[in-house]
Structures are given as structure tokens and as C-alpha cells.
Amino acid sequence: MRAIHLGQSWPLGSSTTAKGVNFALAAPMATRVELLLFAHGEAPEPEQVVELHPRHRSGDIWHVEVEGVGIGCCYAYRVFGPLQPGRHGFNPSKLLLDPCARAIAGWNVYRRVDAIGAVPNTASCLKGVVTERDRFDFGAAPRPRHSWQRTVIYELHVGGFSRGAGSPISPERQGTYLGLIEAIPHLQQLGITTVELLPVMAFDPHDAPPGRLNYWGYSPISWMAPHHAYQQGDDPLQIRQQVRELVSACHRAGLEVLVDVVYNHTCEGNQAGPTLSWRGIDDRLYYHQNAKGDYLDVSGCGNSIAANRPLVRRLILESMRCWALELGVDGFRFDLGIALSRGEELAPLDHPPLFEEIEADPELADLKLVSEPWDCGGLYRLADFPARRVGAWNGRYRDDVRRFWKGDDKSCWTMGQRIAGSPDLFGGQPAVLGRSITFLTAHDGFTLADLVSYDRKHNLANGEDNRDGDNHNNSWNHGAEGPSSDPAVEALRNRQLRNLLTTLLISPGVPMLLMGDEVRRSQGGNNNAWCQDNPLGWMHWQPDEGDRALQLFVRRLIHLRHHLTDLLNPELPHGEAKSPRFDQSGHLLRQWHGLKLGQPDWANWSHTLAWSLNDRQRGPLLWCGMNAFHQELCFELPRCPEGWLQVIHTGQPAGADLPEQPTAISGGSAPLPSRSLLLLVAEPLMRGHQL
């Protein structure tokens, strides 16, 4: 038997020592803890059981040092505590995964059992694996550190982006971290600066109805270990290095890496769910509960993490440091992040301690932080998100821009607010840099191609009789439900795609694109493809002529945004006035127009909008007209002393809608076809620049 020593309470998890490995577990309510050591990840029984006595306890932490073991050692815990008949919580029949394990073994024998009974899971449990805890080599692959103003985010699924018919990725690497490296050129050509990865922390793929698998990954089983299914090979000791290789490759290509993190709930579900880790260690600590012990749920997934409590915050911060400092990622997107601001009895907190600690941590100071500002309990805090360094997904932007181009009534004024930086939502001023993440589509909902091709969701493939997924999509099929061979329908859809994308990329804020929107990726009208690990949820790698035309349009559009980035800076005040007035030298004036100069039409029935950005000395620098009406209309143009260039005209054929070399335009007016957009830029701003 191996020699046993007291060990130490820090660091949490497993870490190598001069003699062996130190194990430390936070379990404040436990009365007894056993550490079980396994010969390998699929071993049905432990080869040694180490009992931790009270002397192995320091405060809330149980710890022990075991000689003769090292990196690669597989282990689990059995935790004992006060038992109450018929209640969930401590369950010594269950072996538990260390929440701080950096790698996991045992996936081939793992079985998810949604029950809290006393049936042992020894032969089917997941085990933690002792790994190195080296820091990422930022000297060899430094963070790109793009400013918020330059940032363009691209949300993708690691398992799906490199897969699909016609994928250029090596077959053995498709669906893996290493496969994503081979897809980096596609992202570079687009001009995006930042990739946002759907959950890559280990999740339970079996947390799904019978016959389905959890594909998206919003069902965490660990906040430290990378998800095993995206690994090439099956050695749990290699997975962290493969993540580092991906991040390093992105950094060398100038791309930042954000990861979507699910700290608001776990895969253990409600009180009837499986006991896998947190629940068996101390469910009263980790989960919000009422006085009866029933789980409180604002995640929609059965439980809610009590991020207001010190030990829970410590675990989340440890997870963030693991991914940011050991694996090198550049930031995080918090799923249902506002749920992390709730205190006891789910009361919303204006100064949530978790976000205060994140913002006060110097090792996390250079990260980009993004969050959903809503949860499933009805809490929605966009402009007043209670963390000054966290940007929030602007769902109002998505909805209002969709409504305007769809042709809804009462949409013109709100559209103006969105393309001006949402001052109506942010206290009368445009959202400051990094506070508003603007988007039209995300993993949750229609793709952009489906947004203009379907009036309603088509989710029967999910096996829930089309009950799942949002019913309120602000979508429009433009004359036919789904694929159409009607040239008029297709032409209108393609024009609308360009209208929507142009609006997004010329608006203040931080734009985010969804995987495949640049090549008209479709999910067949499925707006909730969380369980579709098949071509519905994969990247579209066989673009036709129309797909390639849109891809070229998006690439030029992003490069145009980078070129005009200073004009689109929300921190440069854009005054609102009927006639040009400037309060400070160098500030731009946003002037609203309609069909007539200086006469915007904010009526409920209006479907047109025009605006210009004017410099005090030089006059108009940019003018944009938007016609969401069903007929062609003629817009008056402001006089530009330096001369106008027509940069974008979505009413023109593909290729001419955003040409490589803009063309000069003269005259005092411009006809704008139905449902089209025209963008003019002063000639000196584009001189010598090709898109």
C-alpha cells in the first residue's frame, strides 16, 4: 500500500508533489471522505481506498498526500454526511468526480442514471485524472488583444465547424480541437478577430431524452476539464495540450479565443437527477434550494448554482484561471450570466460578489468578458448589467433589426435607436465600447438563411413534437416556406441577407456572426438544434454560386468595417439634431433623414430610414439609406463637398452590391429599390483602399 501523509489544503484538486500527489477537496458539511485510486479510467473497482480522518481536514478543505502516484493517476471520492431519509444530498453509494480535476477518464463505462437511490456506480463512474498544471506559453503565442472597437466575433461549435460534406479538414481531425486549426484560414479570410466557442468544458452528452444526445454542451459535468469528444485520440493526458495547440494556432493567426461557460447550472438536474459530483459533495452549498430542500431553478435545467457563496465563487474563479492561464483562452461568454448575480432566495444583487472578485483579479484583468443579460427566471439586465467590465448580448438589437427589415409597423424608431448604439437602453447615450454585443443570429434560434426562409420553426427532428424552441422569431419566408426555386423569392431573400448583415456591421457595438451565416448555412428551419450532431448542426462546406457570392460580400463588409472603424466608434459622440450643430471639435453629428433631407419619418407605418455622419469641417462623411418598403422610393442625398462613393447597394446584382472598387455617384437623389440599402462614403475616406 502507498504511504499516506496529511497533505495540504491548497491548491484544490490534484497536484503533483516531490513525493507523489496532493489531493484537496472542499466539502464543508462532510463528516467523512474517502479517496479511491484506480488502475485506469475503466477499472470497475479501486485498487486502493484512502480514508481521510478529521486530521486531514483544514477548515472546509479535506486533503491528503499519497506517495508513489503521479500524473495519469485516476481517482474519485466518496463523501459521507448527515443523511435524511427520502432527501437528496450525501449519498455514499455514489463515487464522485473531483470538481477541480483537469482531465476525466472513464467515458467508455460511464452511465447516466437519473435517480438518487443507493445503487452503487463504482463500475460506471467518471474518474478525475492527475495532470500537469503548467501555464500557457504566452511568450510563444501572445494574446492578440484586439480592442473592443476592432472586435468582430464569430460563434462556432468545435465539434461541428470542421465537419460536413466537403469539409477540407483531414478526416481523422474532423470534429476535434486540432481539426479547428485547419479551418483557421476560412476565419482569417473573412476578417473576423475573435472566435467564440460553444461549451468546450466537459459536459454530459447523455443529458438528453432517450434516443438523443446533447450536442451543444450546455450541460456541464466539469468546469475544469476539456470535453473529451473533441479530442483526437483517447489519452486523457493529451487533451489539454490539444486545446493549447488550438489556442496557440489562433493566436499566431491573430484570432482571440473566447469560450462559452456554463456556470449557472450543472448536468445533475433537479433533486431527482443523478449524483455525479457537486450534489454528492455538498448540494446545500452549490445549489439554490428552498427550506424544504427543493432545487430553485432559473436556468431551465433543473438547478441553479449559488454563485454568491464564497466556496462556489472560489471554484468558478479557479475554473477561469485554469482556462485563461493554463490553456490560454482570451475571455469568456457567460451563459445566462445574470443568474450568477442572484443571492440567497434568488434575490438579484446590485453588487454580486462573483463579478466583483472577477474584476478585482489581476490575473483575469486582460480578458474579454461577455454575458447573456437574462435568465429563465425573468431577470433581464442589459444596460445595468451589474459588472462594469462585462459586455452583454443585446437581444433588443436582434429583435428590432429583424422587425424593421421584415417590414413590421412601429419598427422605424426602434431601428434608429439600434443603429445609433441603443441610447434608449443605455441612459440616453450610446453603449460604451464593449458593453453591447450586437447580433442577428446565434446558436439558439434560426440561422440567418433560415430567418429569411421560414415563417415558423420546424423542430420535429428533435423528438418533442415541435414544442421546443422559441415561437417568437421575427422571421419571414418571403413567399415560400423553406427552399424555393422561384427566382423572385430567392432574389429577395438574398437581398435581405445583405441588408441584415450590412446593418449589423455598420452599427456601433461589438458585432457577432453565427457559424455558417456567411455561406447561407441552413438547419432546415430547426431553431433549436441542441441535439442535432449531424449535417443540420454542422458547417456548410459545399457552397454553391450564391453561397460564395454572399461569402465574398461578408468578407468585404468586415474589411470595410475595419477600415471605417473610427466612424463607428460609439465613444465618439454622435449628436442628435435637426440641423448640424457640434459641441466639441472633432465630434461627429448623426443626422436623421427620410426621403427628404432632415425629415425622418418616425411614424408607426414608416418603413424608411436614412442617416448621415457629418464632420464639423468637412461636412457629410457617410450616408446610409434603408428602404424596407415594398416599393421603390427615391431618397434625397446630402451634398458631399469631397464627393460620394457608392460603397454598398444591396439592390445591385451579386458582386456589384459591394464591389472591390467603389464607384463615384453624383446628383441630389438616389432611387432605392424595395427592401434595399445604400451606403455612400466620402471619397477621401476610401482613397487607395480596395475591399
Catalytic (active-site) positions: 335, 372
- Measure the CA–CA gap between 288 and 286, rounded to whole angstroms: 7
Q: Kindly give, in sequence order, each residue whose CB lies less than 8 Å from that of residue 686, ignoring residues fewer than 6 positions away.
A: 563, 645, 647, 662
Residue 140 to residues 248, 249, 363, 615, Cα–Cα distance (Å): 8, 10, 19, 43
- Measure the CA–CA gap between 669 and 688, rounded to whole angstroms: 26
Alpha helix ranges (H) inside 567-636? none
Reported in sequence order, the residue ranges of 3-42 that DSSP labels E, i.e. its strands, are 4-5, 13-16, 20-26, 32-38
Under a CB-based contact definition with an 8 Å cutoff, are residues 220 and 214 in contact? Answer: no
Secondary structure of residue 348 in the 3-state scheme? strand
Under a CB-based contact definition with an 8 Å cutoff, are residues 53 and 99 in contact? Answer: no
- Sign of CA pseudo-dihedral 349, 340, 195, 140: positive
> Left (φ > 0), alpha (ψ -120 to 50) or beta: where does 460 sit?
alpha
Taking each helix axis as running N to C, give the angle between helix 412-419 and helix 395-406, from 0 to 180 degrees, rounded to the nearest 10: 130
Indicate the burial class of 641 (C-beta count within 10 angstroms; 0-12, 13-18, 19 or more).
Answer: exposed
- Measure the CA–CA gap between 81 and 64, rounded to whole angstroms: 19
- Measure the CA–CA gap between 606 and 609, rounded to whole angstroms: 8
Under a CB-based contact definition with an 8 Å cutoff, are residues 320 and 364 in contact? Answer: yes
C-alpha closest to that of 494 among 623, 629, 652, 627: 652
- Measure the CA–CA gap between 21 and 14, rounded to whole angstroms: 7
- Measure the CA–CA gap between 460 and 470, rounded to whole angstroms: 14
387 phi, psi to nearest 5 deg: -160, 120
- For 295-345, the DSSP string reads BP-SSSSS--B-TTSHHHHHHHHHHHHIIIIIS---EEEETTGGGGGB-GG
- Measure the CA–CA gap between 691 and 688, rounded to whole angstroms: 10
- Measure the CA–CA gap between 376 and 380, rounded to whole angstroms: 9
Under a CB-based contact definition with an 8 Å cutoff, are residues 584 and 640 in contact? Answer: no
Secondary structure of residue 553 in the 3-state scheme? helix
Under a CB-based contact definition with an 8 Å cutoff, are residues 493 and 469 in contact? Answer: no
- Measure the CA–CA gap between 289 and 306, rounded to whole angstroms: 9
Q: Considering only CA atoms, give the Rg of the chain.
A: 27
Secondary structure of residue 160 in the 3-state scheme? helix
C-alpha closest to that of 358 among 393, 394, 324: 324
Under a CB-based contact definition with an 8 Å cutoff, are residues 212 and 463 in contact? Answer: yes
> Left (φ > 0), alpha (ψ -120 to 50) or beta: where does 175 sit?
left
Taking each helix axis as running N to C, give the angle between helix 487-505 and helix 395-406, from 0 to 180 degrees, rounded to the nearest 10: 140
C-alpha closest to that of 407 among 187, 150, 626: 626
241 phi, psi to nearest 5 deg: -65, -35
